[in-house]
Amino acid sequence: ENTVSVCGLQSEGDSLRVATGSAGIASNNVISNHSVRIWEVNPISGEARLLSKVSNDHDGPVRDLALTSVGMLASCSNDGTVKLRSVDNGECLSTLAFLVQEPPMLLSVASVGDVTVASAEDGHVILWVGEESTTIQ
């Protein structure tokens, strides 16, 4: 797989929970199988168990993951969207879109309070308060 991002999730008991995001597999100039996975990791043995996998719900590679202040997992992608996900199974609960004809590739995502922030390849920063977006250059 191409690049992978990782984000720690709230854990219970002795095991750790992490989420990973994959940019997918490149073959013949096509990238496929980009995914978000939720894992349970035993910190003593190092063994990891896949709890859930969501594939190809972004229309491009997953570039970054972040835990939001309201306990959701945010993923950003080359498709110009941020998906807010369940930390239990990775399923998409809401999609934040940058409403322009050709959205820029999003490279990183963070959350502060009720604001979701993403940086774009073209140098812009996009802020969403709820589902309303604002661009900062």
- Tell me, what CATH number does 75's domain have? 2.130.10.10
Question: What is this structure's pTM?
Answer: 0.86
Q: Are 117 and 83 in contact (CB under 8 A)?
A: no
Residues of the chain scoring pLDDT < 50: none
Give residue 66's domain range.
4-136
Q: Kindly report the length of the chain.
A: 137
CB burial of 40-74 (b: ≥16 within 10 Å; e: otherwise) equals bbeeeeeeeeeebebeebbebbbbbbbbbeeebbb
- Domain tally for the chain? 1
CB atoms within 10 A of CB 32: 12
Q: Each residue of 2-20: pLDDT tens digit?
A: 678 999 998 888 899 999 9
CB atoms within 10 A of CB 113: 9
